[in-house]
């Protein structure tokens, strides 16, 4: 029996699988498609042709720390979205485009060299091939007391997979409409799943490759908006590679899914005609790629076509809560606490699921009575610590920006890191104080409460990891290019930071132990 079955090999599923792989967990990642990536799909770049992103295209380092860190961690190259030049607006079907006064559209957005598909490739390389199976669709999930049985279909025969945990890393609407649940999900949860829109599910994206970015020589940005009733593409953008080579234009369809089907035979001609109306005759001929996501059954549900396009909400509690006695967990970008629908949201959801799966359940089987009696409290504390650790780098990035606003000039990294770590330890102590611990079996050895090591364990490596993440952020941040000592930390500076963090750790460990000793003493007093 597997420990974890991850259903859906988009960014959320791939990220979670990577964490499971690194931790040595027994897992299997499956997807109904014959490829990895979910909504991430790129036509590869060649020497003469730009990568064509037919799904997600951009990420924003200023507001999306998780995807920014992952790109840096994987060593992928990125470049700023080309936005300079005149932006066009076409308001009449038989008219000419007019310039817009705005100066940019995709503010501080970046793209990956070689397309977003390189992100999928890099994550897939971290996984053992035998842990991934494609072309396998889950039809039904049956819950049992200690496991879930997944009934799957590979196109020719039915297969059964059993696992202690199942993660549905796919859009909630797909889960609710394509998978049968036994027992049935609570009606409130079922309603929430169906009410959660799948971001960009009913959209169609087109990318046309050209020999040269001819629009740039005319002072045009490649950005355009088409708002008349007959618009084929509602939004157009420069899709070139870095420095304009190879050249391409991209666009998002303005036609509803039903209309796209009706005009399917001439759809490509209509797209080229729209490009030419905006940028001239040279745009009428090129190499065109299109992906109509409304025709992708493993992305778009009938609900996504029937209802007006909307953005999923952040932090929907019902979507994040484990079901069936913690054996079933919903994932995918739409279940994120932040940035739902985006790549950032997919990583946010994966981080939350990892916390839910990695609680130290082995404590309940310990031979030590104090651990056995407190396994629930220790698991809760470990989950809280995991959450605090995940949030710490975001707090560091925010604190660094605030320090720059305050015009702090020296030792910014050191000051912000110590603030974040001290604040994290403070939150952990406050949470610990609220936990109802059973201390009757706890003992004191050489001044240390027997529960202290178990409570400190979830913090192992915390300050080292955070310092490494901070260095990665600083090295890739354009905002601190004027602070060379902060952008690349020298050895002496790093050692000074480590000394400060070690001192904070000692203070925290002593405070945690003292809290336990006081509670043990209070518990021993007669009522």
- Buried b / exposed e over 133-146, threshold 16 CB at 10 Å, is beebbbeebebeee
> What CATH number was assigned to the domain covering residues 1-39+116-198+299-358?
3.50.50.60
Q: What distance in Å separates the CA atoms of residue 503 and residue 497, rounded to the nearest whole number?
A: 10
- The region, left, alpha or beta by phi > 0 then psi within -120 to 50, assigned to residue 315 is left
Tell me the C-alpha distance between 443 and 199, whole Å: 54
Nearest one of 264, 326, 337 to 294, comparing CA atoms: 264
Query: What is the mean pLDDT of the segment spanning 397-413?
Result: 79
Check whether 152 has a pLDDT greater than 60.
yes
Exposure string over 454-492, b if 16+ CB within 10 A, otherwise e? bbbebbeebbeebbebbbebbeebeebeebeebbebeee
Give the span between the Cα atoms of 215 and 174, in whole angstroms.
40
In the prediction, which pLDDT does 245 show? 86
Q: Which helix (H) or strand (E) holds 500?
A: helix 491-524
| Residue 527 pLDDT > 60 | no
CATH of domain 41-112+202-295: 3.90.660.10
CB 111 within 8 A of CB 56: no
Question: If we measure between CA atoms, which residue out of 342, 296, 297, 334 comes closest to residue 313?
Answer: 334
Is pLDDT above 90 for 484?
Answer: no
pLDDT: which is higher, 373 or 527: 373
**410 pLDDT higher than 80:** no
Neighbours of 68 (CB within 10 A): 22
Going by their DSSP bridges, the two strands 287-292 and 328-330 should be labelled as unpaired
For 36-78, write each residue's pLDDT tens digit: 999 999 998 887 788 899 999 999 998 898 999 999 999 999 9
Q: How confident is the model at residue 526 (pLDDT cuts 50, 70, 90)?
A: low
- Taking only the tens place, the pLDDT of each residue in 224-243 is 999 999 999 999 999 999 98
Per-residue tokens: 425: 């330890």
Q: Give one DSSP letter per residue of 291-340, joined into a string.
A: EEGGG-TTT--HHHHHSPP-PPPS--HHHHS-BTTTTEEE-SGGG-SSST
Question: In CATH terms, are 1-39+116-198+299-358 and 41-112+202-295 the same topology?
Answer: no
What does pTM read for this prediction? 0.73
Q: Which two tokens stand for residue 197?
A: 């829109």
What is the rounded distance in angstroms from the CA atom of residue 205 to the CA atom of residue 200?
Answer: 10
**What are the boundaries of each domain within the chain?**
1-39+116-198+299-358, 41-112+202-295, 364-524
Helix axes 375-405, 462-476, angle to 10 degrees: 30
Give the residue-averaged pLDDT of 199-219. 95
| Cβ-proximal residues to 306 (8 Å cutoff; 6+ apart), any chain | none
């Amino acid at each position: 029996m597997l420990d974890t079955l991850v259903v859906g090999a988009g960014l959320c599923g791939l990220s979670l699988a990577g964490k499971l792989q690194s931790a040595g967990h027994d897992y299997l990642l499956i997807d109904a498609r014959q490829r990895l990536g979910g909504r991430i799909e790129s036509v590869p770049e060649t020497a003469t042709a730009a990568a064509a992103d037919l799904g997600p295209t951009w990420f924003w380092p200023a507001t999306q720390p998780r995807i920014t860190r992952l790109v840096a961690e994987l060593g992928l190259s990125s470049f700023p979205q080309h936005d300079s030049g005149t932006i066009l607006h076409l308001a009449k079907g038989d008219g000419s485009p007019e310039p817009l006064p705005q100066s940019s559209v995709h503010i501080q957005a970046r793209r990956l060299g070689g397309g977003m598909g390189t992100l999928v490739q890099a994550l897939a390389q971290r996984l053992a091939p035998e842990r991934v199976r494609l072309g396998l669709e889950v039809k039904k999930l049956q819950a049992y007391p200690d496991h879930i049985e997944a009934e799957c279909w590979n196109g020719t025969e039915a297969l059964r997979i059993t696992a202690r945990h199942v993660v549905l890393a796919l859009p909630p609407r797909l889960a609710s409409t394509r998978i049968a649940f036994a027992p049935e999900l609570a009606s409130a949860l079922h309603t929430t799943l169906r009410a959660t829109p799948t971001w960009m599910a009913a959209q169609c994206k087109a990318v046309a490759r050209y020999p040269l970015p001819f629009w740039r020589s005319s002072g045009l940005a490649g950005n355009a908006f088409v708002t008349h009733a007959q618009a084929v593409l509602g939004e157009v953008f420069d899709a070139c590679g870095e420095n304009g080579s190879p050249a391409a234009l991209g666009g998002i369809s303005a036609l509803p899914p039903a209309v796209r089907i009706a005009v399917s035979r001439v759809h490509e001609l209509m797209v080229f005609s729209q490009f030419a109306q905006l940028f001239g005759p040279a745009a009428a001929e090129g190499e065109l790629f299109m992906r109509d996501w409304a025709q992708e059954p493993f992305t778009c549900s009938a609900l996504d076509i029937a209802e007006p396009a909307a953005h999923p909400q952040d932090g929907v509690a019902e979507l994040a809560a484990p079901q069936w006695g913690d054996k079933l967990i919903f994932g995918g970008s739409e279940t994120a606490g932040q940035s739902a629908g985006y790549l950032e949201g997919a990583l946010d959801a994966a981080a939350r699921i990892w916390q839910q799966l990695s609680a130290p359940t082995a404590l309940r089987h310990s031979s030590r009575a104090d651990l056995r009696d407190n396994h629930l409290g220790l698991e809760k504390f470990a989950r809280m610590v995991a959450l605090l650790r995940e949030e710490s780098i975001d707090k560091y990035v925010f604190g660094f920006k605030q320090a720059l606003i305050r015009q702090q000039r020296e030792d910014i990294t050191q000051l912000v890191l110590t603030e974040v770590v001290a604040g994290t330890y403070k939150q952990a102590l406050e949470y610990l104080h609220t936990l109802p611990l059973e201390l009757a079996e706890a003992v004191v050895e050489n001044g240390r409460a027997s529960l202290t090591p178990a409570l400190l364990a979830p913090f192992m490596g915390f300050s080292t990891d955070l310092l490494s993440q901070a260095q990665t952020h600083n090295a890739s941040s354009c905002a601190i290019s004027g602070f060379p000592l902060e952008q690349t930390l020298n050895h002496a500076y790093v050692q000074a930071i480590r000394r400060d963090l070690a001192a904070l750790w000692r203070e925290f460990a002593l405070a945690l132990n003292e809290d336990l000793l006081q509670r043990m003493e209070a518990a021993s007093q007669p009522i």
